[in-house]
Amino acid sequence: MKKLGIMTTGGDCSGLNSVIYNIIHGGMRRGWAIYGILDGTDGLIGATPNVVRLTADTLPPESAFVAGSILRNGNVGHTNGFERAVQSGKYAQFTKMLKKNLSGLKLDALILIGGNGSLSLAWKTRDIYSDLQLICIPKTIDMDIPLTDKTIGFDTAVSQLTHFCDDLMLTARSHHRWFVVQSMGRNCGALALTAGVASMARAILIPEIKFDVDKLVKHIKSAPTDYGIIMVSEGISLRGHSGRPADMISRKLSAAGIANRTAFPEHIQRAGDTTPNDRILAARMADAALDAIENNETYVMTALQNGEITTVGIDTVVSSGHPERDPNISDLTISNATVSDDDPLLVAADNMGIYIGETK
Q: Which residues are catalytic?
A: 142
CB 10 within 8 A of CB 114: yes
CB 346 within 8 A of CB 355: no
Question: Following DSSP, what letter does each residue of 53-107 receive, concatenated?
Answer: EE-TTSSPSP-GGGSS-TTS-SS--HHHHHHHHHHTT-HHHHHHHHHHHHHHHT-
**Alpha-carbon span 283 to 4, nearest angstrom:** 17
- Say which amino acid occupies 168: L
CB 256 within 8 A of CB 221: yes
138 phi/psi in degrees, rounded to 5: -80, 125
SS3 351: helix
Question: Following DSSP, what letter does each residue of 273-324 receive, concatenated?
Answer: SPPHHHHHHHHHHHHHHHHHHHTT--SEEEEEETTEEEEEEHHHHHHSSEEE
Q: How far apart, in Å, are the Cα atoms of 162 and each of 195, 283, 344?
A: 5, 24, 19
Count of CA atoms in the C-beta half-sphere (13 A) of 51: 23
261 beta partners = 179
CB 156 within 8 A of CB 274: yes
312 beta partners = 301
